[in-house]
Amino acid sequence: MDVLLVFGTRPEAIKMAPVYRALREGPLRPIVAVTAQHREMLDQVLELFQIPVAYDLNIMREGQSLTQVTGLVLGGLAQVLEEVRPRLVLVHGDTTTTFAASLAAFYQQIPVGHVEAGLRSHDPYNPYPEEMNRRLTGSLAALHFCPTPLARENLCRESVAPDRIYVTGNTVIDALLSIVEEDYQFQDPTLRSLDFAGRRVLVATAHRRENWGGPLRDIMLALKDLADRFPDVEVVFPVHRNPQVREPAQAILGGAPRVHLIPPLPYGEFANLLARCHLVLTDSGGLQEEAPALGKPVLVLREKTERPEGVAAGTVRLAGTRRETVLQEAERLLVDSEEYGRMARAVNPYGDGMAAARIHQALLHYFGLGERPLDFRPGEEG
Ligand code: UD1
Ligand code: UDP
């Protein structure tokens, strides 16, 4: 009863860690293959959650292209699948690892379980290439683990058989709840030196392909403007290792007063920073799920989101990527405490911390070893 978990980037690892832990309880046997589409950022997570890796394709290259990643994953995984012959392959989300791993499994007629299935922006170039990666993976998958009822509706509209869909909540909430601690002590020297009581700490991240170039520069200029205009604001920006992000970040924000450019933080440090910050500005997918659970308002630095639940709940707002608009939206939250208060409420549209247990139960159900789990319903206890 081997189940092969395949992932390759930081967010996939964070979100698959709870699944690995749940499956380890048996009777299924989880085996982990990493593509290492990311290297250092992946290793940080593997180390934190102590995930033993059986196969490591080690494919990352500096400035890699989508085609390179797809080819290396497809080729590398074919051999692993031939050797392991798992009963099922589990993939996560919308990266190129996700899509190529699903295709590799399909070619060997091994069923695929898709974790975090059914998110849709309905625009193939936004986010790019993730929207298409997710749709293609959905077409290849035999089982779909949807984080929310809306994701389930998206799949039903695409004629996916309802009995192959489980609504589980998002496993990122499981990971987050296991990591955030009230009396956490930061290791990172920048975070240790921040005065969280006396200053308003803004957390910023950006890396999306569709933002490379002009939009990313605009976002960075808006962050600089914010730090200039508000003397009690500190911006913490852990910079993604992609050269397309690192280079403009250094050029525009390097040396800017009260803007802290730091390398990617280990998840424990980052999650606890989120829990203590004032406001989040990001184009990340995962942060749109984590920050609402922690009661932190999020300005999403994108034109579209495949995660509308946070927007509907009122804690997430689409701010776009134009310098003026981002600045305006952030200023509004920094000067208007009532508006800030309306957004800074803890809501859990994405999960209750039990997603991995539901996925485990769903797999047992699929293999005829247990009952179908009850669906996750936002707003109710798990
Ligand atoms: C990838 C995913 C994206 C996901 C993001 C999470 C695709 C197409 N993109 O984008 O969906 O949101 O990961 O962060 O699958 N690099 C390092 N060290 C690392 C990681 C990256 O040096 O640990 C650098 C390398 O130069 C690498 C580059 O970043 O070539 C880009 O990595 P890649 O995985 O291709 O794209 P991301 O932008 O990280
Ligand atoms: N994250 C982290 N360290 C950082 C920045 C982010 O551990 O310095 C975590 C964050 O909490 C979230 C995930 O990485 O769980 C998001 O990853 P990313 O933004 O790279 O990808 P996306 O979610 O956009 O696919």
Q: φ, ψ for residue 104 (rounded to 5)?
A: -60, -40
Question: Under DSSP, is residue 147 helix (H, G, I), strand (E, B) or coil?
Answer: coil
Cβ neighbours around 368 below 10 Å, total: 6
Q: What is the mean pLDDT of the chain?
A: 97
Q: Which of 56, 116, 269, 352 is catalytic?
A: 116
Residue 379 banded pLDDT, cuts 50, 70, 90: confident
**Per-residue model confidence as pLDDT tens digits over 135-157:** 999 999 999 999 999 999 999 99
| 85 CA → ligand 2 middle, Å | 31
User: Which of these, 217, 247, 221, 286, lies nearest to 63 by C-alpha position?
Assistant: 247
Helix (H) or strand (E) holding 13: helix 10-23
Q: How wide is the angle at C-alpha 23 spanned by C-alphas 346 and 59, nearest 5°?
A: 90
Measured between alpha carbons, how far is residue 90 from residues 4, 204, 260 in Å? 6, 31, 37
Residue 207 · residue 10 · CB < 8 Å: no
Q: 77 near 100, Cβ under 8 Å?
A: yes
Task: Evaluate: CB of 66 within 6 angstroms of ligand 1.
Answer: yes
Q: Across the chain, where does the E strand assignment appear?
A: 2-7, 29-34, 55-56, 88-92, 112-115, 143-146, 165-167, 200-205, 233-238, 259-262, 279-282, 298-300, 316-318
pLDDT in tens, 169-214: 999 999 999 999 999 999 999 999 999 999 999 999 999 999 999 9
Instruction: Name the residue among 23, 27, 40 with its Cα closest to residue 1.
Output: 27
**Prior bond of 127 cis (ω within 30°):** yes
**Which pLDDT does position 100 carry in this prediction?**
98
**Protein residue with its CA nearest to atom 3 in ligand 2:** 265
Instruction: Write the pLDDT tens digit of every residue in 63-119.
Output: 999 999 999 999 999 999 999 999 999 999 999 999 999 999 999 999 999 999 999
Q: Does 209 participate in catalysis according to the annotation?
A: yes
Q: How far is CA 253 from CA 159, 228, 316, 362, in A?
A: 47, 12, 25, 47
Report the distance separating Cα 271 and Cα 119, nearest Å. Answer: 23
User: Is residue 10 within 6 Å of ligand 2 at its C-beta?
Assistant: yes
Helix/strand/coil for 261: strand
Q: Are 8 and 100 in contact (CB under 8 A)?
A: no
Per DSSP, the three-state class of 257 is coil
What angle is formed at CA 99 by the lines to CA 98 and CA 101, rounded to 5 degrees? 70
What the block records as the tokens of 326 is 């981002």
Tell me, yes or no, if the pTM score tops 0.75: yes
* 98 in contact with ligand 1, CB cutoff 6 A: no
The 8-class DSSP code of residue 278 comes to S
pLDDT at 380 over 90: no
Any atom of ligand 1 within 6 Å of the Cβ of 207? yes
Q: Which of 209, 241, 246, 322 is catalytic?
A: 209
Task: Give CA–CA dist 373/382, Å, rounded.
Answer: 11
